[in-house]
């Protein structure tokens, strides 16, 4: 059974930092794309960042470029999202996801975690 478990969410003041983790079991990130998505109250889920593990390519939404960094520890089969200079508009439930066809869009994702809440206060 494939499981993705996010952790690291919490409350932080604007300008602060958090590191989210996505630990996988039942699947190895090494051959896949891994994405971070977020959904704020009343809004649609949006892609935040994506890592193509096979070649190290990374992608970021314009709203987080320069502030967020996605990385992968293959020894722990865990993907991280380092978030810095956080803004109140970053407040959302953050989800990691992965899929077999190495794409970074929501339809490409076959497995999803349950999410971790990030709250940024002004």
Each residue's pLDDT tens digit, 89-112: 999 999 999 998 889 999 999 999
Q: Are 109 and 99 in contact (CB under 8 A)?
A: yes
Checking DSSP bridges between strand 116-121 and strand 10-13, what pairing results, if any? parallel
Of 117 and 29, the structure prediction assigns the larger pLDDT to: 117
Cα–chain-centroid distance for residue 41?
17
Query: Would the pLDDT of 77 be above 90?
Result: yes
The model's confidence at residue 80, banded by pLDDT at 50, 70 and 90, is very high
């Amino acid at each position: 059974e494939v499981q993705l478990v996010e952790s690291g969410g919490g409350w932080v003041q604007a300008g602060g930092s958090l590191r989210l983790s996505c630990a996988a079991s039942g699947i190895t990130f090494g051959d896949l794309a891994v994405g971070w998505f977020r959904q704020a109250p009343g809004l649609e889920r949006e892609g935040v960042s994506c890592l193509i593990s096979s070649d190290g390519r990374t992608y970021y939404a314009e709203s987080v470029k320069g502030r967020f960094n996605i990385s992968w520890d293959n020894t722990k089969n865990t993907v991280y999202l380092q978030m810095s200079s956080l803004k109140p508009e970053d407040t959302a439930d953050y989800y990691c996801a992965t899929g077999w066809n190495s794409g970074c869009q929501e339809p490409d994702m076959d497995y999803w975690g349950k999410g971790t809440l990030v709250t940024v206060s002004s």
